[in-house]
Amino acid sequence: MPELLQLTIDGSEVRVARGATVAAAILASDNSGFRRSVSGEVRGPLCGMGICFECRVTINGAAHCRSCQVLCEDAMDVRTRE
C-alpha cells in the first residue's frame, strides 16, 4: 500500500499517494477546477508537462506554480482561486 500524504486544497483536506503531482491531487479531489478564465471558464491542465501554464495554482503562498510539475508534500496548502 502506498504511503499517503495529506494536503489542503482550497480549505479541504485531501489524501494522495506519495509521488502524485498537485494537478493529480486537484483532479482526484472534489474541487470544481483549477482557476477560471476572465470569462469564467474553468481552466486546467492541458499539456501535463509545464508548457501550457493552464494548471497554475498558489502553493504555500507562492503564486503561479505549475501544478503538473510539483509533487505533493505533506501539509501542503494549495489554492486554486487566488
pLDDT digits (tens, 9 = 90+) for 38-80: 898 888 888 989 899 989 999 999 999 999 999 999 999 999 8
Q: Is the dihedral of CA 50, 53, 56, 60 positive or negative?
A: positive
Ordered by where they begin, the domains of the chain are 4-79 (3.10.20.440)
- Enumerate residues 6+ apart whose C-beta is below 8 A from 30: 12
Judged by DSSP in three states, 6 sits in strand
pLDDT at 10: 92
pLDDT at 82: 65
pLDDT at 23: 94
- The single-letter DSSP state of residue 75 is T
The overall pTM is greater than 0.85:
yes
CA distance 14 to 73: 11
Q: How many CA atoms lie within 13 A of 31 on its CB side?
A: 27
> Which of 16-25, 27-36, 39-48 bottoms out in mean pLDDT, i.e. has the lowest?
27-36
